[in-house]
Each structure stands twice: as structure tokens, then as C-alpha cells.
Amino acid sequence: MKKVICLVLTILTIAALAVPVAAAEKAGANAAKIATTVKGVSASAPKIDGVIGQYEYEEIKYTADDMRYNGTDDAYLAAVQKYNFKMYAAYDAAKMYVAVVVDTPNYSQTKAASSMYLEYSCQVSCAKGDEKTAATRSEYGFGKMSTDGKLIFNAWADAYALKWAPDLTGNDFNVYTKDDKTTYEIAIPAKAFGVDSLKKGEKVRLNICMNVGSDTVGDKKRGQIEWSLGCGNGKDATKFAVVTLGDSIQIPVTTTAKAAAATTAKAAASTTKAAQTADFTGYIAAAMVLSLATAVVVAKKRKA
């Protein structure tokens, strides 16, 4: 009997945790069938420093139809839908680099790593490009404690047996919070996608889920902003976005018309100066020859 009671209590507890997030939801019509391209890194891999440098990543473009929003109630759902957020990605053979910048008013993270989703945090899920089994995925959580600033990580699913234990001093991922915004930068090993390396032309699956709010702090409301489906409400790798690994990010070589004109003018001036110098040298040489000839004539006349 005690075992039955304990089991019932456990189920009720899990249900209680799930109900606030499931209370109000809006999923876009395209959220379960996103297809996009992520470019390779440019000259070097992105730096995990809280700054989204130009040409480090390429921004993941999205519309409301690509997103799933969730909130404790209708009012909080409406608030979450107004949050500003941007997502970025790039890849090399060894890693997929993901960055997220999202509004995080009243940032709080006080949970154990396995429960970080109850407060501000970011979940990234990965799978093979041709994955057909819903439960076969890698699902990771990334956060930063608001109490002492320590980074926290959790792996809820490790279907490809990567057994990833990222560095918690900021080398593999980091979380930066300032002015009610949080930047997550994460370098995910290729094997999290079920492949040995990431290669141009191949496909992988990717999901990004941003947890916002808190179940214990402030108004005790929380929600999610999810790009594609398959993590926040039901675990299904076949609904993650399909990502094609594309060409490298190109750093443009910019030559403005003004700069080109200046270069042309400089070259012309240099040519003119060279010509003038040559002419002047010619004049000097001719003068020296004439002077020498005159001197010879004078000398001959004196002898005569």
C-alpha cells in the first residue's frame, strides 16, 4: 500500500509541475516542419564571450509560424510572445555553435540542474537528420545560478551515448545576463547529432527551447519560447528543425567607389610623377652633354 501511495504522489507531483507550462500554448503552423541552412564558421570558430561578433555566426531567421509559445496562463502567454529574442548558429567539423539572446526580466535560476527548466535556462536538442524514432535524441540544458553565478548543465537524453560532460568554467558554454537580457553561447559536439563529424551538404536536426520566468519567484509564472517542436511539450526528435550544413560564412571584401577612385587617382599621380622625373632626368643629361661639348670646343680653340 505504501508503494502505491508513493507512486501516486510521484505522479501527482510530476503532473503539478507540468500543468503550469501546459496551461496556455500557441504553436505555429510550420513549427513541426522547419527546414533551414546553417553555414560553416568563417576564419575561426566563435568565441564564447557573450558577444555575438560579426561573421561569427549567421542568424537563424524565423517567423511566428516557426515558434511554439507557452505560458502559465493566457496573460503570461501574451507577455512571452512579446519577448525579443534572436538565435544564431555556425558549424565546423567538430562542433555546432549555437547562440541565443533573449529577454529575461527578473532573471532567476536557483534549481538543481535537472530542474533548471522551471526557471530561466536554455535547452538544446539534437538528432540525426534522418532520425525516425521520436525518443532518439540528445537533450541538454544550460543555465547559470543567480545565487552564486555558477554554470549548470544537465543531459535529459543521451540517445547516441556521447556522455557529454562539458566544462563548467565557460569554455564549452556560458551564460551572460545583463540589462534584463541573457546571452547563451554553446559549442555542441558533433556526436550529439549522432555523427562523427559535421560535413557540408549533410543534414542534422536541431531544436532550441528557451525557458523564461520562475515557478517560485515573483509572480510565480513561467513559460517557454521554442523554435520547432519536440522538446517543450512532448519529446519527439522527428519534429526538430531539419538543418542542412551549408557553405562557410563569407567575410566580404568591401571596396567603396570612393576608395576605388582614390586608388586610381593615386596610381595616376604616381605615373605622372614618374614621367616628370624621367623628363627632368633627360633634361639634365642633355644639358650635361651640351656643356661637355662646349667645354671641348673651347679647349680646342685655346690650343689653336
Q: What does the DSSP assignment read for 259-303? A: HHHHHHHHHHHHHHHHHHHHHHHHHHHHHHHHHHHHHHHHHHHHH
Say how many domains are in the chain. Answer: 2
Q: Does one domain contain both 185 and 235?
A: yes
- Give a yes or no: residue 279 inside a domain: yes
Predicted confidence (pLDDT) at residue 250 exceeds the cutoff of 90: yes
- Give a yes or no: residue 217 inside a domain: yes
What CATH number did the domain enclosing 52 receive?
2.60.40.1190
Q: Does one domain contain both 78 and 175?
A: yes
Task: Give the mean pLDDT of 229-249.
Answer: 97
Q: What pLDDT, in 10s, does the model give residues 77-131?
A: 999 999 999 999 999 999 999 999 999 999 999 999 999 999 999 999 999 999 9
Q: Does one domain contain both 258 and 128?
A: no
Q: Does one domain contain both 126 and 273?
A: no
Average pLDDT, the chain: 85
Report the first-to-last Cα separation within the chain, whole angstroms: 147
Nearest 5 degrees, angle CA 26-CA 28-CA 32? 115
Q: What pLDDT, in 10s, does the model give residues 70-91?
A: 999 999 999 999 999 999 999 9
Residue 134, SS3 per DSSP: coil
Cell of 73: 496562463
pLDDT computed for residue 10 by the predictor: 37
CA 14 centroid distance within chain: 33
Q: Are 104 and 52 in contact (CB under 8 A)?
A: no
